[in-house]
Each structure stands twice: as C-alpha cells, then as structure tokens.
Structure 1
Amino acid sequence: MSHSAACRPPLTVLLATPRGFCAGVDRAIQIVERAIQKYGAPVYVRHEIVHNRHVVERLKTLGAVFVEELSECPTDRPVVFSAHGVPKSAPAEAKARKMLYLDATCPLVSKVHVEAGRHFEAGREILLIGHAGHPEVVGTLGQLPDGAVTLIETVEDARAFTPRDPANLAFITQTTLSVDDTAEVVAALRDRFPAIAASHKEDICYATTNRQEAVKAVAARSDVLMVLGIANSSNSVRLAEVGRRAGGEAYLIDDAEGLDLAWLAGAAVVGVTAGASAPEVLVQGVIERLAQSFEVSIEEIDAARETVIFKLPKVLVS
C-alpha cells in the first residue's frame, strides 16, 4: 500500500547551526581542487585530506591520489599535506626530494604547533591532551624532538603523570576534543600543577566548540540525535558523545543509508548535525530519507554565526 501524506506521522527535525564544514576543512578541500586545476591530475594527498569518505571519493574522481606516506609519491607531481597537520619530517623529506608540496594544515592546528615551539624554547616540559594515533596528534608530536611532548588522553593519565619539574610544565591540546572532557583533564592537571602554562587562547578550535554548543541546544529538545560524520573523524565522534551527555540517544552515521528508521520508533523530534568534515549534501540526504516516512517540519536551531575564512596559499591564487 502506498503511504499517503495522511498516514505519515509528523516529525520535527531540529537542524543544528553551525554544522558541517569549518573554514579549515573548506580551505583544505579547495587546495586540492585548485591544485588539480593548476597542475593537472594526478595530485597526491598525504593522508585523507579531511576525515570524510564522501569528500575523499569526490576528490579521487577529480584526480587526487591518497597515500599514507610521502615515500609513495613520485617526485614529479604535487603533494598536498592534509588539514590535520604533519610532523616536521614531512616537509623536510619533500624538500630533500625536491617535491612541490602544498600544505593544507588548518591554520588553527598550525597555531598549536607554534605554541608547542614557544613552550619548548622556554624550556618547558609539554603535555599534549589528545587521542593517540590521530593524525593531528602525530603531527603535533612531530613538531619537536622525541620525548619533548607527553601525550595525556584521560583524567587518569593527568593524575598519574610524573613531571621532571612540576614548576616548569605547559599543556597544549588537539583542536577537535570534547570541550567538557578536556576541561576535566585540564582541571586535574591544574589541581596537581598550579603553575602549568597554557596557550594564549584555547587550543580547541572555534568550530569544534560551536558545533558542540549547538548540539547541546538541539539534544536538549530531541528524542534522537543524528550526527553525520565518519567514525575516524574526531570532531564528529565528539559531537555524538556530547549529544549523549546532554541526555539524548545519539547515532553517528556516514550518510542517509546509515539511518535505521527503527531508532525513530516513538520519536517526535529528531536532531540533526554534521561534523566539521561532513558535506551539507549529506544532511539534505537524511532529511529526504526522513521525508519518505514522515511528515517532516524543519526548524533551524541557531548557535554561533561563523564568519571565519582562511586564505589559500599564494601559489594557488595567482
């Protein structure tokens, strides 16, 4: 039997704003697109440019080739470093091999690299709050000599850490962490080491912070929350966690195909957001999928307005 409009139950979709692409992701994707326009295909990219399968697949069709290591790249084609940042060894190797490289590292990640260097020059022992193995963490650790930075993942790590000199410590953080979880780790560090130095400004970036605030507002009013993002996207995983902490059921899905309508049994209000590397077309896809089964009404929940834009490398603008 065909569902007439009368049969479809009503469903309110609360759209979190801001959601989706941040300025750093937008810039990184543009760098790959413009490099392909300027130099032709293939253009190599070291690591996924941003953590989203849909973005990566689209760039592959344009002529991007994704590799994990620089050694997989020929020397006669351009290579782009991903938005997450790279250890210092990457540009050094590219220079040694006389490669043309374009750095799509987010400027807010580069800012953390600068802070790390500043603390190191000042002779401080550095703690990096972040997730082991995430490319941003690998890149930040790789700014300084081995042993200069210690990774702290949890409050337990913060409590167990033994510094060389408690009066000479600093901490920096990954840009895509949970604001609330990080505050707990920082509180544990400050409790033990009141003199610990911090960055001039919060390392967790504006986009991560804004998306988490928007999710709290949406989750508070939703029966179920859908976060569009890939499981290896740190900021997307954090959005789902923040939603759960705000009291809601939250699901991280790649796209509309990952949506299980059984999750919506008895739901009247569904919140939808997207991580900083998830394209808006995926959000629209979820709304279309919901509209097949429900009488959907959409409400945008406004948090911060984002006006940040980062400049492209000069070589691509000419």
Structure 2
Amino acid sequence: MKIILAQPRGFCAGVVRAIDTVERALEKYGAPVYVRHEIVHNRHVVESLKAKGARFVEELSEVPSGAVTIFSAHGVSRKVENEAKSRALPTIDATCPLVTKVHNQGRRYVAQGRILVFIGHAGHPEVEGTLGQIDGELHLVESVEDVEKLPIAPDAPIAYVTQTTLSVDDTRGVIAALNRRFSDVEGPEIRDICYATQNRQTAVRELSRVCDVIIVVGAPNSSNSNRLREIGEEAGLPSYLVVGGADINAEWVKNAHVVGVTAGASAPEILVGEVVQALMRIEPSEVSDLSGLKESVSFRLPAELLS
C-alpha cells in the first residue's frame, strides 16, 4: 500500500494567525484569556489552548468583567462587538482577514444601493457574523433552489458575496443561477473565494486521480473539511472524515493500493501524522507528498499584540 499526502493541506494563514493570537495574548496578558466560540473548528487545537490558559465561551455574558476577550477566526456580528464595548471588555479580533474582506465587500455593495445575497450555510459562525456586520436588505441562500425562491424583482440591482469555506463548484452554480434570474448582478470573481479553500479542494481533486481511498483529517463541524470529503465522494472514491488516527478503520483500506490523505484548514499536521501512523500499523507503506502548490501567504497579528 502507498500513502500519498495532498499538497497543500492543513493549517491556512488565517488559522495560524488565530492560534498565534491566542498564544500571544496569553504571553502578554497572562491566563486566563477568554475566546468567544472555538477559535477554529478543531478540538485538538482548542484543548491545546485550554491547557495553556484559554477559556472558550459561547456568549460574552460568560466572560468576567475586565477579562481579555478574543473573537474567533470566523468573525462576529456588530451586536457582539457592541456588547463587548458596553461592558468595556478589552477585545482582540482574530477574524480571518479574508472573512473581513467579505464584510467590506458586502458593505460596499449595499452602499451602492444593491440588495445583497449572501451565499453560505445557515447557522455557521462565519455566516452569523457576516449577516450581523452588514446593514441593508440581505438574503441568505445555500442552493440554486434558494435562488429561485428569493422575494426580489428580476430587474432589481443585486450583488452577492460568499462564505469563505464553500465549495468553488457549488458557489459557481449558485452564482450562475443568480445571473439567470436577475438582470443586474455584481459580485467578486470566483478566485476571490478563500485561497486556502480553493487550493485544498484542487489538491483533493488531484489526489482522487491517483488514489483508491481518500481520508480527510478534520473536525465534524468544519465546513471546509466536510467539503473535502464530499469532493472525494464525487470523484467516485470511498472518502472518510476522521478527527485523528484513532478513527481509522482497517476495513476502509483493506483492498486499497493507494490511500490519499489530506486535512482541512483547521487541522494540525500532528493529526495527519497520527493518521499516517495508524495506516502504517495496518500495513507498512511508502509515504510521499503529491506535487502541488506551496503556500506562502501570512497575515499580521492584531495590532494590540505587535507591541
């Protein structure tokens, strides 16, 4: 059996920045610091930061007065920002800059007098944050079917923005439906969807050409990780989402000659290593990296932590 690792895989620049933000805040201000929502969708990362003194909460009401508070990489609504201000909580914003870019794009379109359509998954933290950042008429759609149900006149000026972790293909289909139904549509290019999402999806498509089975390392609540597994399935391959090496089932690879392994943008490389070791225990294997794009993107830490 051969094991081929996707390239790129795992942590993206936004996730690295978010984790570094929490660690730097702990160094600068001391434990505990409070983080609203999971900083990224990965239990291993969250537990590691908890051990260093981070405290994760879902609501700001759980944060003691005066405690340093960090907003997660997914972003938050203005309501949450205003609540923090009203309580005079010292806050640090770890929102991924590419999510902030979506917020800014949406505001520009609304300022132009356009009705905004946001393509995303209802209930996802990034979606809730974005919906709460943009004033004006705004509609959430998840599918082509949702586009057909929009209560908007066909000649109304509209614009769209997208959740950063969506499938490029699924987004392209929804955008095409918007252009079919409405006569005045503006929106960012497909390439403006998160670079890391696109790169990892492209890598899985390449991996599916040379593998018999695909294993994606990521959390069950990670949107981009779930989409990587779906892409493998769409290519006709048995594809599995695992948290780590303990989830590997020997039956999955019983008849496989080549197993492809990738990881979502919030999954650390240590978990990829665990999966590889679990596969090696089933059958000693040759491990190699698929040739692919080498990412060099990095984001600066929040200003509060640079001094």
TM-score range, shorter chain: over 0.9
Superposition deviation, residue 269 in structure 1: 0.5
Q: 2:157 aligns with which of 168, 171, 194?
A: 168
Q: 1:3: which partner in 2?
A: none
Q: 1:225 aligns with which of 206, 214, 220?
A: 214
Q: 1:66: which partner in 2?
A: 56
Q: 1:315 aligns with which of 271, 280, 304?
A: 304
Q: For 2:190 and 2:226, how far apart are their aligned partners in 1?
A: 24
Q: 2:30 aligns with which of 29, 36, 40?
A: 40
Superposition deviation, residue 203 in structure 1: 4.1
- Residue 148 (str. 1) matches residue 137 (str. 2): yes
Q: 1:8: which partner in 2?
A: none
Q: 2:231 aligns with which of 242, 249, 269?
A: 242
Deviations 1:90-114 (CA, angstroms, capped at 9, x unpaired): 2211111111100000000000000
**TM-score normalized with structure 2 length:** 0.97
Q: For 1:247 and 1:220, how far apart are their aligned partners in 2?
A: 10
Deviations 1:265-299 (CA, angstroms, capped at 9, x unpaired): 21111000000000000000111111112121112
Superposition deviation, residue 62 in structure 1: 0.4
Q: 1:185: which partner in 2?
A: 174
Alignment map for 1:120-135 (pairs within 5 Å): 120-135=110-125
Deviations 1:36-91 (CA, angstroms, capped at 9, x unpaired): 11111110000000000000000000001000111111122100000001001122
Q: For 1:127 and 1:86, how far apart are their aligned partners in 2?
A: 19
Unaligned runs of 5+ in 1: 1-10
Q: For 2:210 and 2:147, how far apart are their aligned partners in 1?
A: 34
Q: 2:44: which partner in 1?
A: 54
- Residue 264 (str. 1) matches residue 253 (str. 2): yes
Q: For 1:30 and 1:39, how far apart are their aligned partners in 2?
A: 14
- Tell me whether 110-119 or 92-101 shows the greater mean CA deviation: 92-101
Q: For 1:61 and 1:140, how far apart are their aligned partners in 2?
A: 30
Superposition deviation, residue 144 in structure 1: 2.3
Secondary structure of the residue aligned to 1:17 is: coil
User: CA 1:201 to 1:263, structure 2 compared with 1: closer, same or farther past 3 Å?
Assistant: closer
Q: For 2:192 and 2:117, how far apart are their aligned partners in 1?
A: 13
Superposition deviation, residue 199 in structure 1: 2.3
Q: For 1:179 and 1:167, how far apart are their aligned partners in 2?
A: 26
- Tell me whether 132-141 or 298-307 shows the greater mean CA deviation: 298-307
Q: For 1:15 and 1:70, how far apart are their aligned partners in 2?
A: 40
Give the aligned residue type for 2:182.
Answer: F
Q: 1:76: which partner in 2?
A: 66
Superposition deviation, residue 125 in structure 1: 0.5
Does the 8 A contact of 1:213 with 1:303 survive in 2?
no
Q: 2:77 aligns with which of 63, 75, 87?
A: 87
Q: 2:4: which partner in 1?
A: 14
Superposition deviation, residue 302 in structure 1: 2.3
Superposition deviation, residue 200 in structure 1: 5.9
- Residue 275 (str. 1) matches residue 264 (str. 2): yes
Does the 8 A contact of 2:4 with 2:261 survive in 1?
yes
Superposition deviation, residue 246 in structure 1: 1.8
Does the 8 A contact of 1:16 with 1:214 survive in 2?
yes
Root-mean-square deviation (CA, aligned residues, Å) is: 1.2
Does the 8 A contact of 1:79 with 1:100 survive in 2?
yes
Does the 8 A contact of 1:220 with 1:247 survive in 2?
no
Give the aligned residue type for 2:157.
Answer: N
Q: For 2:35 and 2:192, how far apart are their aligned partners in 1?
A: 26
Superposition deviation, residue 303 in structure 1: 2.2
Report the number of matched residues: 307
Superposition deviation, residue 149 in structure 1: 1.2
Q: For 2:193 and 2:95, how far apart are their aligned partners in 1?
A: 15
Superposition deviation, residue 201 in structure 1: 6.5
**TM-score normalized with structure 1 length:** 0.94
Give the aligned residue type for 1:156.
Answer: E
